[in-house]
Amino acid sequence: MTNFLQRTLTGIVFVAVIVGAALLGPLPFILLFFVVTLATVLEFYRIISVDDIAPQRRTGAFICMVLFLFISYVSQDTYKLGFAADLSIVFKTPVLILALIYFMFFAELFRKRPRPFVNIGITVLGLFYIAIPFSMFCMMGLSTDAGAYSPQLALGFLVMLWVNDSGAYLAGSRFGKNKLFPKVSPGKTWEGTITGILAVVGAAWLWSRFFTRLSPAEWIGLSLVIAVTATLGDLVASMLKRSLSLKDSGTVFPGHGGFLDRFDGLLGAAPFAYLFLYLLNKL
């Protein structure tokens, strides 16, 4: 099987699972990304554990789960998921999150590792780099339209993300000559990047013809935010892997690599897309 065919088949299954979860309802959607968040942060801790760096994997993963639930679930009205509002008492205040983060300092005392504050810093980095962007993406997915669950924003975000990635990959591999950031990602080109931006603007306009949660201009504005920040997010992940002498972060997705390889654009784009929608008063 060629690499292109492998990538294509993996991509089809990948898209089908995510779109299916979003269409099934808020609970399958949030459960899927709960699992994805946990798997991604554990992958991050695994690949970065080199040269005496030993992040607190279990503690970090647990705090990531709590942080994900707090941001993407409790910060929303609990009726959207059909649960009793009393459940939110468990995660009612961010003070709990802060206490858990400070617990890392105490836990490191008993680990007796040679680089304790590096370990703490890397563990906390996993929260900001992975858990928060995934949580903000899920907040977009859980936002309601006229009081009812609507995956319009989340699916629109994903469609634009995938169109940008596919357009840049196809055009860059075929026509790319001028490197975008050769020291970090030799495969990325200006030709591919510009094609990805043009493709995602076209996709946003087409999406706006069928989904009216945002105006055409707002969808196009969102697409530009996604195209730029997703590309930068991809470069950040490449910078991480290059610093660790890795080609891929894992082998979970044949032809695509690991969770970080597959979701690097989302991690870069989700916070800025959320901010854009928040400033438009659409969340």
Residue-wise pLDDT for 88-136, tens only, equals 444 455 677 788 888 899 999 999 898 999 999 999 999 999 999 999 9
pTM of the model: 0.89
Q: Are residues 84 and 203 in the same domain?
A: no
Is the distance from CB of 265 to CB of 188 less than 8 angstroms?
A: no
Answer yes or no: do 237 and 170 share one domain.
yes
Q: How many structural domains compose the chain?
A: 2
Q: What is the mean pLDDT of the chain?
A: 86
**Of the candidates 137, 103, 148, 165, which has an alpha carbon nearest to the alpha carbon of residue 18?**
137
Residue 200 maps to a domain: yes
Q: Per the domain annotation, does 61 fall within a domain?
A: yes
Domain membership of residue 231 as a residue range: 151-283
Which two three-digit tokens encode residue 139? 């907040």
| Distant-in-sequence, close-in-space partners of 279: CB < 8 Å, separation ≥ 6 | none
Q: 233: burial class by Cβ within 10 Å (0-12, 13-18, 19+)?
A: buried
- The residue out of 96, 123, 150 marking a domain boundary is 150
Place of tokens 């789960």: 65
